[in-house]
Amino acid sequence: MNPNDYLSAALLITGAVFFLAGTLGLLRFPDVYTRLHALTKADNVGLGLMVVGLAVQAESWSVVGKLLLIWWLVLIAGASVAHLIASGALQRGIRMWKP
Amino acid sequence: MTLLTWIFDSLLGLSLLWLAWRALACPNLFKAIVLFVAFGLLMALAWVRLAAPDVALAEAAIGAGLTGALLMAALAKLHPTEAHNDFAVPPEKNVTKVWSWQWLPAITILLVTTGLGYVVLSLPPYATGLSTEVAANLEISGASNPVTAVLLNFRGYDTLLEIVVLLLALLGVWSLNSADLDHKAAPGIVLDTLARLLTPIFILVAAYLLWVGAHAPGGAFQAGAVLGAAGVLLLLAGWRPRTGLMALPLRLVLVIGPAIFVIVAMLTLLIAGQMLEYPPTQAGALILILETAATVSIGVTLAALFLGGDPRKNNRNKNHT
């Protein structure tokens, strides 16, 4: 293993930890708003770390570009869909959880 | 590594079976659709594991994405009293009555499953199938991606029929319902912005998939699905095409794919004496023309399916009232 491999392994594992935290939040948080928060926040950073980890291994710059494009599309789609779900839930009168 | 991939594949297979069962047995139809979409995404992953990226792309785009959207649109149109899953476990009081009828199909399914299992187990463990013949004739096919060569050249007949099936499905939907063509305000600035931002990218990705299909995974169905997704997103954001476009222009776009396919099939039948037998020198160009027309037709057909109804009936009703 050369230094690049260690770097991408570290990035991928950190990304996986974010995904794990996001999934845990999705399953364990009390209401739809907090679950969305856990899901989108963690997945955006987790996927970003995975993309960077894979980009380190990429053979050409065009592959790096495609990976970054995937991340950008997921960021846009994730943020927009989270907003739509949250505003839909508000319209239906789902109350926010209070501790 | 082999142990890791073995564990991964086993988990994937078990998750697929579990999701399929949950999607069928879930009494809540909304949940069932979400489970079906999840099943489609994992199925795409399974195709990737089987080294079939073309099928994986089609499964993710059509099987999970567009079918999910179509099912959701259908669910929204169902009356709340009808929107329950008849396949799910019936309420307690009906159990005995239904059960007396259920053993017959259960035995039939068991017999079919046993037969299929026997056939699969009696297959030779390693068979090349037709892959050597495809590889031998790849050079004259006009495409260096073997999947495209099979779909558009060696078995072009199948693809022609598949595109016609899609058109027939749309005709069925049109005969049942009329479309709602009133312009709607976008439900919020976020969806509006998202649709405006993503539509050009969807068109670009569709063109890329179409072009790359000649030598790598991609092709008309995947590109058409991406175009259809752009249409679905625009329709969700409240966009409706002008009524003038919904009469003849829409119908022309819907049939251009099948029509060009049929014309090429007839010309090749007349000239070469064999349906869809392209001359090797022009095969590449012919495949590109066929795929471009098919992509446009598939994309518009899928979006029209999501609109769910004959757009012209709506006009007629309006004129009467």
pLDDT tens, position by position, B54-106 = 889 889 988 888 999 999 988 888 877 666 666 665 555 555 555 667 788 88
Spell out which residues of chain A touch residue B198, defining contact as CB-CB under 8 Å. Answer: 73, 76-77
Does A45 have pLDDT greater than 50?
yes
CA distance A25 to B35: 20
Spell out which residues of chain B touch residue A76, defining contact as CB-CB under 8 Å. Answer: 194, 197-198
Cβ contact B188–A84 (<8 Å): yes
Cβ contact B190–A84 (<8 Å): yes
Low-confidence winner among A76-90, B105-119, B235-249 (lowest mean pLDDT): B235-249
Spell out which residues of chain A touch residue B190, defining contact as CB-CB under 8 Å. Answer: 80, 83-84, 87
Most confident by average pLDDT, A68-77, A90-99, B86-95 = A68-77
Q: Is B197 on the interface with A (CB under 8 A)?
A: yes
CA distance B201 to B205: 6
Cβ contact B197–A76 (<8 Å): yes
Complex ipTM value: 0.83
- Percent of chain A past pLDDT 90, that is, above it, reads 51
pTM score of the predicted model: 0.83
How confident is the model at residue B225, as a pLDDT?
Answer: 92
Q: How confident is the model at residue A97 (pLDDT cuts 50, 70, 90)?
A: confident
Low-confidence winner among A7-16, B34-43, B69-78, B226-235 (lowest mean pLDDT): B69-78
CA distance B258 to B289: 12
- Percent of chain B past pLDDT 70, that is, above it, reads 89
Spell out which residues of chain A touch residue B194, defining contact as CB-CB under 8 Å. Answer: 76-77, 80
Cβ contact A77–B201 (<8 Å): no
How confident is the model at residue A98, as a pLDDT?
Answer: 83
Does B320 have pLDDT greater than 50?
no
Give the mean pLDDT of A56-79. Answer: 91
Calculate the average pLDDT of chain B.
85
How confident is the model at residue B258, as a pLDDT?
Answer: 92
User: Closest Cα of chain B to A98: distance in Å?
Assistant: 27
3-state secondary structure at position B311: helix
- Token pair for residue B31? 């949940």
Does B11 have pLDDT greater than 60?
yes
How confident is the model at residue B88, as a pLDDT?
Answer: 65
More confident site: B160 or A41? B160
How many beta-carbon contacts under 8 Å exist across A and B?
19
CA distance B121 to B207: 42
Contact map slice: B 200-239 vs A, CB within 8 A: 201
Cβ contact B194–A77 (<8 Å): yes
In A, what residues contact B, Cβ < 8 A? 73, 76-77, 80, 83-84, 87
Q: How confident is the model at residue B48 (pLDDT cuts 50, 70, 90)?
A: very high
Cβ contact A73–B201 (<8 Å): yes
Cβ contact B191–A87 (<8 Å): no
Q: Is residue B174 a contact partner of residue B306, using CB atoms and an 8 Å limit?
A: no
Does B319 have pLDDT greater than 60?
no
Residue B178 has φ and ψ, to the nearest 5°, of -110, 150
CA distance B204 to A69: 13
Determine how many CB atoms are found less than 10 A away from the CB of residue B318. Answer: 12
Contact map slice: B 82-141 vs A, CB within 8 A: none
Give the mean pLDDT of B295-312. Answer: 88
Q: Is residue B243 a contact partner of residue B236, using CB atoms and an 8 Å limit?
A: no
- Token pair for residue B56? 């994986």
Q: How confident is the model at residue B9 (pLDDT cuts 50, 70, 90)?
A: very high
Q: Is B4 on the interface with A (CB under 8 A)?
A: no
Cβ contact A80–B188 (<8 Å): no
CA B116, distance to chain mean position in Å, is 26
CA distance B224 to B202: 10
Nearest chain B residue to A76, by CA: B194
Cβ contact B190–A83 (<8 Å): yes
Who contacts B73 (Cβ-Cβ below 8 Å, separation ≥6)?
A: B306, B308
Q: How confident is the model at residue B43 (pLDDT cuts 50, 70, 90)?
A: very high
Nearest chain A residue to B186, by CA: A84
In this complex, which of B187, B188, B194 lies closest to A76 when CB atoms are compared?
A: B194
How confident is the model at residue B92, as a pLDDT?
Answer: 55
